[in-house]
Structure 1
Amino acid sequence: MGRTISGLLREETGRISRRRLVVGAGAAGTLAALAWAGVSAVTGNGDRPLALVYRGPAACSGCAEAVAALLRSAPVGFRTEYCGPGEQRQVSRSTLTDAAVYAQPGGGNVGPAWRRLRDHAEDVRGFVRDGGHYLGFCLGAYLAAARPGFGLLDGKVDQYIRTAGASVDSVDDAVIPVRWRGRARHMFFQDGPTLELRPGAPGMVLATYDTGAPAAVVTAFGAGRVGLVGPHPEADRSWYADAELTNPDGIRLDLGHDLVRSTVDGWAPTSGGS
C-alpha cells in the first residue's frame, strides 16, 4: 500500500470479512453542552436514545454488530438500529433526525468505502453540526477526515503502522499497547489511524499509541461531538478467537464505554487537543 492518504485508496468490492479487514488511511465548531437528558430529548421521546449504526458494503461483516452491541451495553443503554443500503432505514437527513448517535464501524479501504458513502456526506455533516454525535471506529475514524471523508475532524488522520516506532508494521490483526487516560492498556488493532487535532481545535485526547500519537479523540463539530478511535474497543471474544490473539487485560468493553460517554455526555471542551 502507498504511504500517503491518497496512496492508500486501493479498490475493493463487496462485503469484507472482519477477519481479513484491511483499512487504508484516509472542522471544528463550538460545543453545545448536552447531558443524557438532552440526548433523550433528541429522540423525541422518553425512551432510551437511538443510535443508528451503518451496516452495508462500506463496513466489514460483523463490525456493525459489534458496535451495536457496545452501544447497547453502554451505561445509558442505547437502543440500536442499522441503517444502510440493505436496511429498512437508509442514511438520510430524515432518518438521522430520529437519532442521538450515528456510528460508522470498521470496514475496508477508504476509497471504495467513501464512494459508497459520499452521497450521504452532507446529511451526516448536518446531523452532527445540528447537535448529533458521530462515533467512528477504525475506518469510521479515517472517514471523519476531509478529502476523502465527512470533514468532521479539524486535524490530520494518518496510518499508525507507518509511524516511526510503531509496535506493529503490518495490516494483520494484532493486540497493541496504548495509554488510555494515562493508564496502560491493550486493544485489538487492525491498521487503524492516528488522529491529530489541529492546535487550538476544541477537543481532548482519550488515548495514545506507544509512539505518543493520538489513538482516540473527542472533538466538536458545530453543536455536536465526534468520537474517533483507531483500535477496536468494540472487539468481542470472537474477534480474538478468530485471530488467535489474547488480550493480557482480558476482553473488556470499558474503553468503548468511555469513548461513548465522553462523546455524548462527559467531555468539557478545552483547546489544544488535550
Structure 2
Amino acid sequence: MTRVRPIALIYRGAAACAECPQAAAELLTSADVGFEVRFVGEREGFGRATLAGAALYVQPGGGRSLERAYRAVKGHGPLIREFVRSGGRYLGICMGGYLADSWRGFALLPPGAEADPYVGAPGADVTTRADTLVAITHRGSPTPSRIFFQDGPLFRLPAAVPPGTSVVARYAATGDIAALVCPFGRGWVGVCGPHPEAPHDWYSAHGLPDEGRTGTALGHDLLDALLSAGAPGATSATGQRS
C-alpha cells in the first residue's frame, strides 16, 4: 500500500528571502516524516482551498524589514489563523517567528507572549545584524552549540504558560527562548529565531564555520515537537510529559 505523505505548504513570495523557501523545503524533505512539499504565495496562489488538506504551513525567513514583510502577507493572516485554529500546524523561522507575534503579525502566540529582536537584548552575544553564528542550548543541554543567525527573534512567554507548550532551544548567553512549540486553538505553532534550515553554502558564503549539522538536528527536533504536540507523552515546557 502506498503511504500518503503529509502536505507541507511553504510560503514563497515578497515576505521571504530568495533562498529561504527552498532551504526550508530541503529541511522538511530530509525529515523522517516524508512531507510532500508545495509552495504557496503571490505567484502560486493563496486561499482557503490551497490550505485545505495541508498538515503544515511554513513561513520562512525574510528580509530585514518586518513592516515590509507583514505588508506582503497581511491579507493571508485570517486564512493562516483559521488554518491553525482548526488543527493545522504553523512553522515560523526567523521572520516567520516575528510574524507569529501579534504586533505586525498573525497573532498566533499565546496572549502576553512576545517575539522581540535578540540583537540588543541584555547580555546577548550577537550585537550585529550581519549574518553570523549564535550560541544556543538545545533541550537544556549544558553544552552550547552554534547555528546560523540573521537578526532573528527571541520569544517571551506569559507567566501563565499554556498547557503543552514546549521550549526546544534557548540562546546560551541569555537563557531567552530561541525555539518553542505552543498551542493555538486546536492547532500548534512552532517558531525559531535562528536558521536551522541553513544549507552549507550559507555558512561558506559568509566565511562562517559550517554548523549545518547542528541546525538540521534542531530543525528536525522542532518539527517532531510541532507534529507530535498535543499527543499523549508530548513534553511540555516544564519538562513533564502529558
The TM-score with structure 2 as length reference comes to 0.89
1:191 aligns with 2:148: no
Q: Matches of 2:15 and 2:36 in 1, distance apart?
A: 22
Structure-to-structure mapping, 1:142-161, within 5 angstroms: 142-154=98-110, 155-161=113-119
The one of the two structures with greater contact order (alpha-carbon pairs below 8 A, sep at least 6) is: 1
3-state SS, counterpart of residue 231 of structure 1: coil
Q: Give unpaired runs (5+ residues) of structure 2.
A: none
Displacement after TM superposition at 1:157 (Å): 1.0
3-state SS, counterpart of residue 127 of structure 2: coil
* Residues 68 and 249 (structure 1), Cα distance of their counterparts in 2 relative to 1, 3 Å cut: closer
Displacement after TM superposition at 1:96 (Å): 0.7
The TM-score with structure 1 as length reference comes to 0.79
Counterpart in 1 of 2:125?
167
Q: Deviations over 1:116-143 (max 9, x none)?
A: 1111111000000000000000000000
Tell me the C-alpha RMSD between the 2 structures.
Answer: 1.9
- Is the 2:188–2:229 contact (alpha carbons within 8 Å) kept by the matching residues of 1? no
Q: Matches of 2:74 and 2:136 in 1, distance apart?
A: 32
1:126 aligns with 2:82: yes
Residue 16 of structure 2, aligned match among 59, 79, 85: 59
Q: Matches of 1:176 and 1:57 in 2, distance apart?
A: 26
Q: Give unpaired runs (5+ residues) of structure 1.
A: 1-44
Counterpart in 2 of 1:35?
none
**What letter is aligned with 1:170?**
T
Q: Matches of 2:54 and 2:69 in 1, distance apart?
A: 22
* Residues 271 and 262 (structure 1), Cα distance of their counterparts in 2 relative to 1, 3 Å cut: closer
Q: Deviations over 1:155-191 (max 9, x none)?
A: 0111101111111111001111100101222110010
Residue 161 of structure 2, aligned match among 201, 208, 212: 201
Displacement after TM superposition at 1:62 (Å): 0.5
Structure-to-structure mapping, 1:17-96, within 5 angstroms: 46-87=3-44, 90-96=45-51
**What letter is aligned with 2:149?**
F
1:227 aligns with 2:190: yes
Q: Matches of 1:64 and 1:139 in 2, distance apart?
A: 12
Q: Deviations over 1:205-235 (max 9, x none)?
A: 1111121110001000001010000000001
Q: Deviations over 1:2-50 (max 9, x none)?
A: xxxxxxxxxxxxxxxxxxxxxxxxxxxxxxxxxxxxxxxxxxx951000
Counterpart in 2 of 1:176?
134
Q: Matches of 2:138 and 2:189 in 1, distance apart?
A: 17
Displacement after TM superposition at 1:254 (Å): 1.4
**What letter is aligned with 2:107?**
G
Q: Matches of 2:239 and 2:133 in 1, distance apart?
A: 26
Q: Matches of 2:211 and 2:197 in 1, distance apart?
A: 16
- Figure out how many residues of one structure are paired with residues of the other and give that number: 228
3-state SS, counterpart of residue 136 of structure 1: strand
* Residues 211 and 145 (structure 1), Cα distance of their counterparts in 2 relative to 1, 3 Å cut: same
More displaced 10-residue stretch of structure 1: 106-115 or 126-135 = 106-115
